[in-house]
Structure 1
Amino acid sequence: MSKGLFITGTGTDVGKTYVTALLIKKLCEGGLRAGYYKAAVSGNEEGPGGLIPGDGEYVREISQNGQTLASMVPYVYRQSVSPHLAAKLEGNPVELEKVAAGYRRLSREYAFITMEGSGGIVCPIRYDKKVLWLEDIIRQLKLPSLIVADAGLGSINSAVLTAEYMKQNKLPVWGFILNHYHDDSIMERDNRYMIEQRTGLPVIECIADGQRELETEAEVWKEMYI
């Protein structure tokens, strides 16, 4: 039976794809069958067979999990905008059932699936005659989450607001991963402390710039997948 975990962030460009790639790599190195999934990805370039899902390509390169790009992302857009707007500009809006069906197919092949979100937790995935938000996908797939946050200035506010929104909307959260972390920074050490104090959630790992391995063991990450 496959198990899953959702990776969301405090916003765009906080390092969700980078963290997800390292997490899948760690699971693979621990001898586990680990796959990647993302409902929709924007800002992609054309390849020989069409648009290439850049995030999926990056994860595959870093993790070396051998997964096909076609199985990673069902909706791929060219425009570097939110998926709901990309679909309005390019067509092919996201259907929840197609996303769920792709996840189920992947579940038959991989024991552990790490699903990455688009943008932050309050991200519109579709907004036309149908309305679909990122949290609707999390609920549909019944996944717990980890929150990726930048370790620098402003992280307390963005991390706490994200966690509180998810708690209020009954979206299970295990904790945080802080990216771009500098252990010699008193501010960033304090940010970590204050985030934990205000949310009651642990910072599971702090990742330095250029880090290529997660320090937390695969067995610990494994327990977060349900």
Structure 2
Amino acid sequence: MSTALSLFVTGTDTEIGKTLVSSALLRGFVREGLQAAAMKPIAAGAFELDGVLHNEDADQLDAASSVLLPPDMRTPYLLKEPAAPHIAAALENVVLDLERIVACHAEAVTRADIVVVEGVGGFRVPLTATQDTADLAVALNLPVVLVVGMRLGCISHALLSAEAIAARGLTLAGWVANRVDPDMTFPDENIASIREHLARAYDAPLLGIVPHLNPISAERAADRLDIPRLLQTLRHAQR
């Protein structure tokens, strides 16, 4: 049995910085001396480069990793259309099979000390007529890190996401506040409110506040994350 650590990164919505935070986590783990690999099991929005399909998010994750997984293992489902995964899959007559993803993950954790699995969209994005990304997180049975995009409405989105994660019997290992809207009013007060609620209800710590970065930098974002605390939580959850 592999002793590698792994976690599932989800978000309060799409376009709120899951890939940035996942990449920052990878950079942080590498700084801690770990062999770190990434999975983006389902990626919608592929482009061709030198005859090979690529996805921007998956490429960013690879750039932050110290162990590169084979593309078919890192991203078992690479879909061309930049749309919700069940829609993109239907256009290509692809069935998103969670068992295939679980098998790829089982192999991935034999190749690295830690594997960061980035979800797609928010926590309840449909994958098939009967399954969504929450079912994927359950199938992988991993602790979850929630990325909260700091913008108007983020408190409700954060609490609803945390509630959904807990309802599936998963551990919320912590959350990251990502300042996606630099003009947001009362960001500190919003962060304090989310912090209080998630700590009290789920014992989930704030792992860091990522400022609005221009240009985006996983290296700079990693400076803002409490990697040792997260590793401690992950190791405890694995016991």
- 1:85 corresponds in structure 2 to 87
Unaligned 5+ segments in structure 2 are none
Offset at residue 8 of structure 1 (A): 0.3
Kindly indicate whether residue 216 of structure 2 is the aligned counterpart of residue 203 of structure 1: no
Checking the alignment, whether the CA contact within 8 Å between 1:53 and 1:73 is kept in structure 2 is no
Checking the alignment, whether the CA contact within 8 Å between 1:175 and 1:202 is kept in structure 2 is yes
- 2: CA distance, partners of 1:174 / 1:66: 23
Q: How many residues align?
A: 222
- 2:177 corresponds in structure 1 to 178
SS in 2 for 1:195: helix
Checking the alignment, whether the CA contact within 8 Å between 1:183 and 1:189 is kept in structure 2 is no
- 1:27 corresponds in structure 2 to 29
Offset at residue 38 of structure 1 (A): 1.9
Checking the alignment, whether the CA contact within 8 Å between 1:5 and 1:224 is kept in structure 2 is no
> Bigger CA drift: 100-109 or 176-185?
176-185
SS in 2 for 1:223: helix
CA RMSD of aligned residues (A): 2.1
- 2:131 corresponds in structure 1 to 132
Cα 1:155–1:64, aligned 2, differ >3 Å: closer, same or farther? same
**Residue type of the alignment partner of 2:9:** I
> Bigger CA drift: 195-204 or 102-111?
195-204
- 2: CA distance, partners of 1:140 / 1:187: 38
- 1:224 corresponds in structure 2 to 233
SS in 2 for 1:143: coil
- 2:68 corresponds in structure 1 to 67
- 1: CA distance, partners of 2:195 / 2:16: 18
SS in 1 for 2:115: strand
SS in 2 for 1:88: helix
Instruction: State TM-score, norm by structure 1.
Output: 0.90
- 1:117 corresponds in structure 2 to 119
- 1:95 corresponds in structure 2 to 97
- 1: CA distance, partners of 2:16 / 2:185: 20
Cα 1:93–1:49, aligned 2, differ >3 Å: closer, same or farther? farther
**Residue type of the alignment partner of 2:229:** V
Checking the alignment, whether the CA contact within 8 Å between 2:28 and 2:227 is kept in structure 1 is yes
Query: What do residues 62-121 of structure 1 show as CA deviations (whole Å, max 9, x unaligned)?
Result: x15241451311100111111111110012221111101110111110111111110000
- 2: CA distance, partners of 1:60 / 1:154: 32
Note the 1:135-154 alignment, pairs <5 A: 135-154=134-153
- 2: CA distance, partners of 1:13 / 1:145: 18
> Bigger CA drift: 149-158 or 166-175?
166-175
- 2: CA distance, partners of 1:139 / 1:66: 25
- 2:188 corresponds in structure 1 to 189
Kindly indicate whether residue 54 of structure 2 is the aligned counterpart of residue 52 of structure 1: yes
- 1: CA distance, partners of 2:141 / 2:108: 15
Cα 1:87–1:32, aligned 2, differ >3 Å: closer, same or farther? same
- 2:40 corresponds in structure 1 to 38
Cα 1:103–1:202, aligned 2, differ >3 Å: closer, same or farther? same
SS in 2 for 1:41: strand
Unaligned 5+ segments in structure 1 are none
Instruction: State TM-score, norm by structure 2.
Output: 0.85
